[in-house]
Amino acid sequence: MEPPCVHITTYGCQMNQLDAELVAEVLRASGARLAADADEADVLLFLTCSVRGHAEDRVFSNIGALKARKQREPDLIIGLLGCMAQQYGPALRRRAPLVDLVCAPGRLAELPDLIVEARRGRRPVALDPVRTEGGPETLAKADEALDRAEVRRPLCGSSPGQAYVVAVRGCDNFCSYCVVPHVRGPERSRAPSAILDEVRRLVGQGARQITLLGQAVNQYAAVEGGRRWDLADLLQAAAETPDLARLAFITNHPRAFDERLAAVFRNVSKVCSYLHMPAQSGSDAVLARMNRRYTAAEYLDRVAMVRQARPDVAVASDFIVGFPGETPADFEATMDLVRRARASAAFVFKYSPRPGTMAAERYPDDVPAEEKRRRHAALLALVEEISGEENAKFVGRRVRVFVEDLAPRPKLNERGRPGDRLNGGVQLRGRTPCNRIVVFDGPPCLVGAEVDVEVKHSSPLTLFGSIENPGARRA
């Protein structure tokens, strides 16, 4: 059998982006070729997300569009991986009959064998033991296989110099709207030694910024070497890695944010001035129905705690608008929370009932679509307004920028719209330690390095600056 030529399409969160790197490396190590263009591949893999109905619909529609190609090329293998695989299991085939191979998030290390099986016409389905069968030992075995695959994975992230590292897998919070605990299994923290080894290895390969990942990363809890580790311990230890410039961690659950983590912002300079801590709502009644287990006042206390430790921290959040029973007054409470927290970035989602979740079973989806759209737009506009005000404070200042990539074409003007105002050279895009996007003219060799930039203009989403002596500033 010829080695397969594989194309991967990825949907969803950072955890999926990291899983895509892992899949690519596991397949490469097994002799497969990876194709940038789906038309060249004979195995098409879809790494999917189940968090909202819309994300699932896109996957079903993209797979459905392959019908004619599958008829022309009967040997073409279509694989559906990740959260949707776990959510639907073999039942997926009813809605997506073209799918030959189904593989859940914890079984990705087995993909080379699953592809061989699929090419022999066996249509394999590999699901996680998760919460139903198998128990903790089976789950631990699957995690070990993923950890071994991580060790093989060279730095291959989309932005040179930046890498994600898993700290916590799964989730036990069971927010009433959320499918993640059902598809990614129970919360388990990786051993600190495995994480720290991975950080050192990635920095040895050139990473300068590491982001630790977990659905509630600040619930990290491990026992190793006769001691307990929490996220504060882990960040302190990781920050000692020589040549590592920046350390970030996402996502934080407000209930678990404590003084120890706030102290890390005060004491560990490599930790970025950026706290992604989703509030989801500013109404206590809605938060209770969401099973978030904190109040709006407690959320704001946590924000005050971190700002006391590091005044320039940028707070980013997620919100769901149109949750069942959300009244106009509840929504106003959310707007109020955003104003008080001065949240300068937010992912805002319209509520989408997910099968099997408590909210879908208990509460009717009773906020009309038009009202969800209105609240979505109003909340985004408010966050953009705050972000614009915060960005304007940077004009005239010098900021340290981690250069991620070339800026997208065409060049952006100082309102952040496509334009041609900044002429000459290549336009680069990077981020401040508080995660603000900065674009400036400079040589491509700066990608993956840190550089000082003078901020000249700002827009709500972008800072525009310049460097004095581009050639001499690679740090």
Distances (CA, A) of 188 to 163, 184, 223: 21, 10, 12
Cβ distance to ligand SF4 smaller for residue 229 or 319: 319
Cβ distance to ligand SF4 smaller for residue 13 or 207: 13
Q: Which of 53, 77, 58, 64 is nearest to 11 (CA)?
A: 58
Q: Does 286 contact ligand SAM by CB under 6 A?
A: no
Which range binds ligand SAM by CB under 6 A, 20-28, 162-170, 350-358, 406-414? 350-358
Distances (CA, A) of 41 to 5, 9, 115, 117, 149: 5, 12, 13, 17, 23
DSSP state, residue 167: -
Select the binding partner of residue 320 from ligand SF4, ligand SAM, none (C-beta < 5 to 8 A, by kind): ligand SAM
Which range binds ligand SAM by CB under 6 A, 203-211, 345-353, 393-401, 458-466? 345-353
Q: Does 176 contact ligand SAM by CB under 6 A?
A: no
Closest contact distance (angstroms) between CB of 330 and ligand SAM is 15
Which residue in 107, 169, 200, 354 binds ligand SAM (CB under 6 A)?
Answer: 354
Select the binding partner of residue 24 from ligand SAM, ligand SF4, none (C-beta < 5 to 8 A, by kind): none
Closest contact distance (angstroms) between CB of 319 and ligand SAM is 6
Closest contact distance (angstroms) between CB of 11 and ligand SAM is 11
Using CB atoms within 10 Å of the CB of residue 468, give its burial: 0 to 12 exposed, 13 to 18 middle, 19+ buried: exposed
Residues 6+ apart with CB under 8 A from 361: none
What is the rounded distance in angstroms from the CA atom of residue 150 to the CA atom of residue 130?
20
Distances (CA, A) of 235 to 248, 287, 325: 9, 29, 39
The answer to whether the CB of 60 falls within 8 A of the CB of 93 is no
Closest contact distance (angstroms) between CB of 176 and ligand SAM is 9
Cβ distance to ligand SF4 smaller for residue 30 or 295: 295
Which residue in 86, 176, 219, 251 binds ligand SAM (CB under 6 A)?
Answer: 251
* Orientation angle between helical segments 192-204 and 135-152, nearest 10 degrees: 20
| Vertex 305 angle, CA 299 and 309, to 5° | 150
Distances (CA, A) of 158 to 36, 89, 428, 447, 457: 13, 30, 15, 12, 28
DSSP state, residue 102: E
Q: Does 303 contact ligand SAM by CB under 6 A?
A: no
Cβ distance to ligand SAM smaller for residue 273 or 280: 280
Which range binds ligand SAM by CB under 6 A, 119-127, 149-157, 177-185, 233-241? 177-185
Q: Does 248 contact ligand SAM by CB under 6 A?
A: no
Cβ distance to ligand SAM smaller for residue 13 or 23: 13
Which residue in 46, 177, 220, 294 binds ligand SAM (CB under 6 A)?
Answer: 177
What is the rounded distance in angstroms from the CA atom of residue 257 to the CA atom of residue 302?
7
Q: Does 331 contact ligand SAM by CB under 6 A?
A: no
What is the rounded distance in angstroms from the CA atom of residue 382 to the CA atom of residue 342?
10
Closest contact distance (angstroms) between CB of 466 and ligand SAM is 36
Select the binding partner of residue 118 from ligand SF4, ligand SAM, none (C-beta < 5 to 8 A, by kind): none
Which residue in 254, 278, 282, 430 binds ligand SAM (CB under 6 A)?
Answer: 278
> How would DSSP label each residue in 199-242?
HHHHHHTT--EEEEE-TTGGG-EEEETTEEEEHHHHHHHHHTST
Closest contact distance (angstroms) between CB of 235 and ligand SF4 is 20
The two tokens of residue 162 are: 């930046």
Dihedral Cα 289, 294, 300, 303, nearest 10 deg: -120
Select the binding partner of residue 352 from ligand SF4, ligand SAM, none (C-beta < 5 to 8 A, by kind): ligand SAM
Which residue in 176, 241, 352, 427 binds ligand SAM (CB under 6 A)?
Answer: 352
Which residue in 8, 45, 51, 183 binds ligand SAM (CB under 6 A)?
Answer: 51
Q: Does 109 contact ligand SAM by CB under 6 A?
A: no
Closest contact distance (angstroms) between CB of 277 and ligand SAM is 8
The two tokens of residue 112 are: 């080379």
Closest contact distance (angstroms) between CB of 322 and ligand SAM is 9
The two tokens of residue 447 are: 């990608």
Which chain residues interact with ligand SAM by CB under 6 A? 13, 51-52, 177-178, 180, 215-216, 251, 253, 278, 280, 318, 320, 349, 351-352, 354
